[in-house]
């Protein structure tokens, strides 16, 4: 039980800014439970977004609500995955060799591609959140909680299916302790979603398509993955899921 609790806390410490000051042991057991808790971190983030949306929808203008939701989203993750998104954009946009792209990933400075990619990501998230805030779909509102959950679960699948291009770093240590059983355990969190809203199955299926396409692109562009690419996949998956959710609301529940 101690390993379960410490693993869950480690997941929050690695993936969010939610304050857990407890010092946790880092070993094979706690790392496994940290990986299994990725979805729980997403659930807390999604739950916070759902709470704000439910409380303020119809009370404040939808555009302000969308800005507030986006701000909370960034604050809860500390911009960690956004940093990976920007580093990935700089590397991918450089049109250099694979080795040079990998070196660019390690550079903390933001180039023009990083800035452009960040602006586009924020615009897309804002527009999709605005659509959701302006929507009267109850299913769509509830499914907002599933968006960050699915984005973090797909990161596990990405780690499981693709090799890291360095035998060091956070992504390598995560992958070394990740098994298919861990992924199955992490996915238990989706059962309540399926029972509450069957439409989440649609999101899950389409999410697999995103992870497959992203994984193929990362393998071709970088011959593997690292922490930045995994972080970028979370940001990309969140936008993808918001877009799919918006299409579902627009064409299925309308």
* pLDDT at residue 33, rounded to an integer: 82
> How far is residue 158's CA from residue 225's CA, in Å, rounded to a whole number?
9
Least Cα distance to 129 among 66, 49, 54 occurs for 66
* pLDDT at residue 223, rounded to an integer: 83
* Spans of all domains in the chain: 41-251
Asked if 170 and 225 count as a contact pair (C-beta separation under 8 A), the reply is no
* pLDDT at residue 139, rounded to an integer: 63
* pLDDT at residue 94, rounded to an integer: 77
The secondary structure of the chain, three-state, reads CHHHHHHHHHHHHHHCCCCCCCCCCCCHHHHHHHHHCHHHHHHHHHHHHHHHHHHHECCECHHHHHHHHHHHHHHHHCCHHHHHHHHHHHHHHCCCCHHHHHHHHHCCCCCHHHHHHHHHHHHHHHHHHHHHHHCCCHHHHHHCCHHHHHHHHHHHHHHHHCCECCCCCHHHHHHHCCCHHHHHHHHHHHHHHHHHCCCHHHHHHHHHHHHHHHHHHHHHHHCCECHHHHHHHHHHHHHHHHHHHHHHHHHCCC
The ranges of the chain with pLDDT < 50 are: none
What is the average pLDDT value for the chain, to the nearest integer? 83
Partner residues linked to 57 by β-bridges: 60
What digits encode the pLDDT tens for the residues 121-158? Answer: 999 999 999 988 887 766 666 788 889 999 999 999 98
Tell me, yes or no, if the pTM score tops 0.85. Answer: yes
* pLDDT at residue 98, rounded to an integer: 77
* pLDDT at residue 253, rounded to an integer: 64
């Amino acid at each position: 039980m101690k390993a379960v609790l410490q693993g869950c806390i480690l997941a929050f410490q690695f993936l969010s800014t939610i304050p857990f000051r407890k010092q946790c042991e880092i070993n094979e057991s706690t790392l496994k439970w940290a990986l299994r808790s990725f979805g729980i971190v997403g659930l807390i983030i999604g739950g916070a977004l759902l709470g704000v949306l439910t409380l303020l929808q119809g009370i404040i203008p939808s555009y302000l609500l969308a800005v507030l939701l986006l701000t909370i989203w960034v604050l809860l993750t500390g911009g960690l995955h956004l940093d990976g998104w920007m580093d990935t954009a700089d590397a991918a946009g450089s049109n250099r060799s694979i080795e040079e792209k990998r070196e660019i990933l390690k550079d903390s400075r933001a180039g023009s591609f990083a800035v452009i990619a960040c602006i586009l990501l924020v615009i897309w998230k804002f527009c999709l959140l605005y659509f959701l805030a302006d929507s009267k779909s109850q299913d769509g509102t509830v499914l907002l909680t599933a968006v960050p959950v699915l984005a973090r679960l797909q990161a596990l699948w990405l780690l499981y299916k693709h090799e890291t291009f360095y035998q060091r770093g956070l992504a390598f240590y995560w992958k070394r302790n990740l098994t298919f059983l861990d992924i199955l355990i992490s996915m238990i969190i989706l059962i309540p979603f399926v029972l509450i809203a069957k439409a989440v199955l649609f999101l899950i299926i389409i999410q697999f398509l995103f992870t497959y396409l992203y994984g193929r692109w990362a393998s071709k562009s970088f011959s593997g993955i690292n922490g930045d690419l995994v972080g970028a996949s979370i940001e990309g998956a969140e936008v993808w899921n918001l877009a799919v959710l918006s299409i579902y609301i627009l064409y299925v529940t309308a």
